Structures are given as structure tokens and as C-alpha cells.
A and B are shown apart, each in its own frame.
Chain A
Amino acid sequence: MNEQQQTLWGFMAQQSDKLLTQTLQHIGLTFISLFIAVLIGLPLGIFITRKKQFSGTVLGIAGVLQTIPSIALLGFMIPLLGIGAKPAIVALLLYALLPIIRNTYTGITGVDSAVKEAAVAMGMNKWQVLFKAELPLAMPVILAGIRTATVINVGVATLASYIAAGGLGEFIFGGISLNNTNMILAGAIPAALLAILFDFLLSRLQHLNLKKLKTAVAALPLLLIIMSSFYFIPSAYGGKLTAGFTPEFMGRQDGNLGLQSKYGLKIHTIVISDAVMYKAAYEKQLDVISGYSTDGRLKAYGLIVLQDDKGIFPPYYAAPVVREDALNKFPELEKTLNMLSGKINDSVMTDLNYRTDYLHQSPERVAKDFLLAHTLWQPERNGKVGVVRIGSKIFGEQYILAEMYAMLIKGYTDYDVATKTGLGGTKICFDALTNNQIDFYPEYTGTGLLAILQSSKKTVDSLGGDKNKIYNYVKNVFKAKYNIKWLQPIGFNNAYALMMRQKQAKDLGVKTISNLKQYLESK
């Protein structure tokens, strides 16, 4: 691939269609939720100035909503509202509520009491006092709240891509997964610019004098509606089946690109985070998803893997990747890590994953049980000869492996261990490794070949999907290029796979990806 040569500008020009769509979706998402938040927050803010006894409760609840991590909030929304635009808009509007309610409340209670008294004394009724005196005078403060909410929304809306609601997050998270800096920047820069632009425009509005503000505020709802209309809901059109693919899968040769080129598969596709993808498939929001063949949720949600009859998904055998200088520094390390080699096959890994992902057992417990069952566990030696830093990506399997390695190192060597688990994606993990932030982490041969080395199509074809050839290839190239060593494979193959609900696949008679294509093209 010529990613290194391609400039950011080149990427953006090449992807301008997508960039425009995503930007418009992003603006739309931001403003639909903002609009609804104003519709709810403004009256609520006014209400609590009238009934002060509720102000603590209302502001308290809005404050608590604000503290929920955005990913978690989006996660809560799935069971209630499914995936797509609805949960994203609801989550965004919940974030926007606090600044709007709080500033409405502060703004109105801050209006000079002499002015309010004059308004009442001249014979205005409570609505006239509100609309002629309180709201106009509180408007700069209320606008400041709306401004804060807008900037928050532009930021949080990047996460909407996790639940298939589109927006610039598709580029950002796709880029992180694919180790493609240009793609990250193509999403991040427009998102940042949007935040700065809206902040600037609203600050201008806020500092207009009170007279001009009247007209400006009258125009505001119209503007909000126009901005909102930029958002066309991604799932508005549909085919027979809907596929949900992760941003990473969307951009990979061994992912959606391969599906299109080798199988000619055309399916209505939305982009979604793998954290919610399985559940969405289970709840029939999605029909086909891009999963991992050892994922515990496969078992939990009754999904089956479609057979890859044209062999586009290369093998993804897991093995620890270690920096050579760490191996020199910790002579015992390689031997210890290799103790796991060949111990875990696909079905064992699926079961271990099932226990963490579905039975919610802690990775630590699952790891210990496994080591005990295979008589590999030894009590800690509490050694203090240096600290081995273990990294892991942000999904269950990696956590379990990291725990196993930590226990083995503590039990068999005199090294201490620091774990840095939950590093977002391949790029983040690999950068941490090369920048000496961690000493090793479990990686997959396929990921090494395609995502990290960005190998050309010719190279990939020449390896022909053979597991040993690929392992040897990445081992040699990593050694030469990064001075990083691939240790022995653990045994299981966590390859990409297309999955469907068991029942649906049976009903439709779909067993292979080619079957799926035939079904989609049949009338």
C-alpha cells in the first residue's frame, strides 16, 4: 500500500464524498439533539425557577447524566432504543441538558430583582414577565449554556459511529483500528473545526447587544431546524438484510473490501462498534455481522460463523509480540511466555471468552481457573527484579491472556508485572510497544500482516492464506523492521468471520458466504 506517500489532503480529496456525508451527519446529529435538548431544557429550567424546591433534584439528575461515560451511556441505550440514530440522539441530548437547564436557571434567577418587581408592578401577568423581562435579560446566559452544549455535542457525536449513527467518528475510529493516520485526521480535524466554528458563531451571538439579540434569537430555532435536517438517517433505506460491520472491518482488505472484490457481496451496511454489534444481531437489529471466530458472545447469542469458502479471511493466530531489548533485559521472559504455547485451541478460547463476556466472570478468575486446570499455576514469588509491562487491546480475550501472562511471570520468575490493559486498538497497542511504553502484548498474525505491515495485495496473495507461511513472514519482517519478536503461537485462530443468527441462517439455507450472496441476489 502506498499509505505513506499519500498526503492527508490526498486522502480527504479521495474520500470527499464520504467526508461530506459524515460531516453533514455530524452537524445533523449535533443539532437535532441540541434542538430537542433546548425544547426540554429551557422549559425545565424555567420550571425550576418557579418551583425552587425541585431545582436541586433536576440539576442533580442532569449532573449525574453528565458524568456517565459516553460509551456507557450509548451502551445503555441499545436495549431501550436499539442501534442507529435514535439512541445516539437521545444520548447526545442527555449530555446537552445540564448546561442548558443550569444556565436557564442561573440566567433567570440572576435577572435584577428590581426589574422583575417593576414588571409585576406594572401589571404584567406571569407569562408577560417571563417573555418580556426575564427571558430576554437571561438570554446571554442561556446562550452561553447552549454554546457549551453545542461544543460538548460535537465532541460526543464522534462516538455515535459506535452504534451505527454515522458522523465523523467513522473515520476516527476506523483510522485508529486500521493504523491509518490520514483517516484519523480526516475525521478529527473536521470535528475539531466544527467545534471551533460553532463555538465562535455562538459567542458572537452571545455578545450582540440586547436589541439585536431579539432578532437573532428569533432566527435561532429556524437555524437549528435547518442544521438538523442535514442528518439523514443512515438506515433509512434498507435491503433484504442489514449488515453491521466495525469501522476496522469496513476498511480492510480482509474485511468488507475483500467481501466486495472476491465475493461481489452487496449488502446494506451500517458501521457499528463491536461492543454492541453482537447484541444488536441477537436483538434482530442486524442480520449479518463481522465478528471474531473465538468470541464468547458467539455462544452466548446463538450465532453461527458462515464458512469462508473463498478464503478471504487470513488466519489470525495469536502469539505474544515482544521487543528484543525486553527479551535481553528479562532473560526468563521468553521461556515463561512460551509456556502457554499450544495450550488454547479455538473452542477453549471461545469458552473462556464466553465466561468473561457472558457469565461476567473476571478475566483474572478465568485465567487462574485455566492455569490451575492445566497445572501451570504457581504461587507468586513476589520478585522485585525489574518490572515487565504487559499491554492488551480492549476486548475480553486480550484481558484474559494478559492475566495469564501476568500470573505465569509472577509464578515462575522474579520479575514484577505492570499491566496496561485496554489499549484502544491495534495502532495504540503497537505504538505503545514500539515507543517502549509496554514490553509485549498478544497480537494476531493476520493483524500483523495487514494492519501493521500494510502488506501489498501481491504479498498477501503469495502467502495464500497459509498459517505457517504467514507466521514466518510476519516474524521475519517484524524482526527486521521493528526489532520485535513473535514468540510461539498460543494455538487458537481468532480470525474474522461473518456471522448470522443460527435460526435465520438455517431458515434461509445460508451456510457459506457464497450462499449469502446468492440469497441476497435472488428475487
Chain B
Amino acid sequence: MIKVEDLSKSFGKIKAVDHISFQVKERENLILLGTSGCGKTTTLKMLNRLIEPTSGKIFINGENILMQPPEILRRGIGYVLQNNGLFPHYTVAENIAIVPQLLRWDRKRIENRVSELLEKLHLDTTYLNAYPNELSGGQQQRVGLARALVADPPVLLMDEPFGALDNVTRSKIHAEFKALDELKRKTIIMVTHDVQEAFELGDRICLMDKGRIIQNGTPAELLFNPVNSFVKDFLKEQRLQLEFKALHLIDIWDWLPTSKKRETKLNLMSDTGLWESLEGFKFTNSEEISISHQNNEIKTVGFEQLMAAFYQYKKQQTHE
């Protein structure tokens, strides 16, 4: 879907991005992770040509985007900014309608699409005629997301989209983000410096440092097979929580004991994250949960059995 080849960007003598290449599959959620100044935002902004590369090629659906008129390219790519970048002089409705206006949609179509999105993002329609400064930070960020999604672009670029939010609002929006069907259809590239967020939202993570990609892989690969000590050190803090977030039930399926099927309050699919499953015990106040795998194979396990399987998995990884 997106293919980046040998991409570089220099600002004067400083190499902000230094010969990087990566690919993003359709509907994949790639996170560009790293500290400030590692080149992740520069990389993102080259994808919609807010920054012109010094050298290298970028293909979206096989087309070289550097050959396209930038305005036309950008209208087909959603973009969400950290400080939302809403137009202070436009109402919520007008802000969301900017791209459809540029694409010359008719009025009815715009209205329908805007109200559809507001509903999906849990924004009350009374906000339609409000101005951005009358909204809370979380609401503003939702409007920013709606604005990026309104023309249903196949690709979405997000530059630290939740960076300006407080922790409570952020985890709420994370949950909505994962649940939103519109986003499941999209190829998303998101920049963040927050390791937890990367592990929660990313299918794959590109860990960057000094303009280069240090490791590109699934969260589990980064955790259990770090290519060097930089990756290991980067993920050192709250490692246990990261491990829970990186793994899915399917990863530890083999170590879960087979047992008779019993009635439980919570039934999960095997592609559910381990962190989510552990939280499930707490939220539903259950002793046991049922997990269904493909072919209707079902295991019913308790909290200790789940944790035991997790340690078995880890042990095996370190032996490899």
C-alpha cells in the first residue's frame, strides 16, 4: 500500500532522516516511535509532502507521490495534528467540511456525512455550530479526527494525535479509536513518543533514532527479539505492562490448559490482547473466562492459569 524507498531529508548539514525504507500494508497501523528529534515527524510529513524529501521515493498504491500535484495528493490523505489545528474562525461543521468543500461535494452530501461522523465520534449535534474554543480538548481532537476522516481517504497520517490530552481523556479516546469501524478500514501511520500508546494502537512499530530506523516489527518482536541494546533500553520502563499489551491470547494458546467448557460471564476471541483479557477479570469480577479459538475450540481458564501460560511463553522466548 505504502512503500518508502531510501528516503532522506537534510536541513542544511543536519540529516533529519537518513536513508530509510519501510512498507505499510493495507489496513495496517504503523507507529513511528522515538524520542524528539529522531526524524519520525519529518518522515510522516514527507508522506503528504508537507516536507519535500531531499532524496528517495514514496509510493502509495504503486504511484510515485512525488510526481503528483501536492494539493490533489493531500486531499486523498487524512491528517491529524497534535494541536488539532482547527480553524478558530470556522464552526465545527465548517471545519469538518473543509475537504469536501475543496472536492466540491454538494451541500446535502456534506451535511449527511458530517452528521454521520459526529454520531460515530460521540459528539452531540448541538456542537455543529459551536466554535473550536468552546469545546474541550478531547472534543477538539475528535473534531480534528472527523475532519481527517470526512472524505474517507484510504490513508491516515497522525502526528502525535493524542499528545496534548490528559491521561484519562487519552485512554478514553484510545478505546474509541480502536472501536471505530472507519479506522479499521484505513492504513494508518501514526507518530508518537509514548511507548504505551505505540503498543496499544500499533500493528507494527518502527523504532527510530537519529534519522534511522533501528527496528521495524510487531510489538512482540521488539520486546522479545530486540536487535540491539538501544531497543531493549527504550522499552525498559513498564516492561511487564508492555509485554501484556504486546501479546495476544493466541500467542500463549498452547500453554493454556485444556478443560471442559463451563459457563462464564466473559467470552473472548483468541485474537484479543492479553492486557485486555486481564482487565476483563477485574471489570466483570469473574473467576474464569472462556476463550474461543478457530474451529470453535474453546478453553476456560482462571487468572493464575493465564499468568502461568504467559511465563511459559516468556521462558521459551528467552531460550530461543
Contact = CB atoms under 8 A, between A and B. Distances in A.
A147 B307 CA distance: 72
A123 B81 contact: no
Interface in A198-230: 210-211, 213-214
B79 interface: yes
Interface string B61-105: 000000000011111100101111111110000000011001000
A165 interface: no
Given A114-B85, A118-B87, A133-B87, A123 B50 contact: no
A456 interface: no
Given A117-B50, A118-B79, A123 B99 contact: yes
Given A121-B50, A128-B102, A137 B88 contact: yes
B84 A114 contact: yes
Contacts of A121: 48, 50, 74, 79, 81, 85
B40 interface: no
A448 B148 CA distance: 82
Contacts of A117: 50, 81, 85
Contact of A136 (B50, B89, B98, B131): B89
Given A136-B89, A210-B88, A210-B89, A118 B102 contact: no
B88 A115 contact: yes
A118 B75 contact: no
B86 A122 contact: no
Range class of the B interface residue count? 20 to 34
A460 to B, nearest CB: 68
A318 to B, nearest CB: 67
Contacts of A359: none
A125 interface: yes
A143 to B, nearest CB: 14
Contacts of B87: 115, 118-119, 132-133, 137
A124, A128, A214: most-surrounded residue (chain B CB, <10 A): A124
Contacts of B73: 123
B74 A115 contact: no
A115 B85 contact: yes
B137 to A, nearest CB: 14
B204 interface: no
Contacts of A119: 85, 87
A118, A125, A133: most-surrounded residue (chain B CB, <10 A): A118
**Chain A, interface SS category:** helix
Interface string A372-408: 0000000000000000000000000000000000000
A119 to B, nearest CB: 8
A473 B50 CA distance: 87
A210 B95 CA distance: 14
A211 B89 CA distance: 6
Nearest to A111: B88
Contact of B71 (A125, A132, A211): A125
A13 interface: no
Interface in A137-155: 137
B248 interface: no
A119 B99 CA distance: 10
B9 interface: no
Interface string B287-306: 00000000000000000000
Interface string B103-139: 0000000000000000000000000000100000000
Nearest to B69: A125
> 9 smallest A-B Cβ distances: which pairs?
A118-B85, A123-B75, A210-B89, A123-B74, A114-B85, A121-B79, A114-B83, A123-B71, A136-B89
Interface of A: 112, 114-115, 117-125, 128, 132-133, 136-137, 210-211, 213-214
Given A118-B79, A132-B87, 12 more contacts: A117-B50, A117-B81, A118-B84, A119-B85, A122-B102, A122-B147, A123-B71, A123-B72, A123-B74, A124-B71, A125-B71, A210-B88
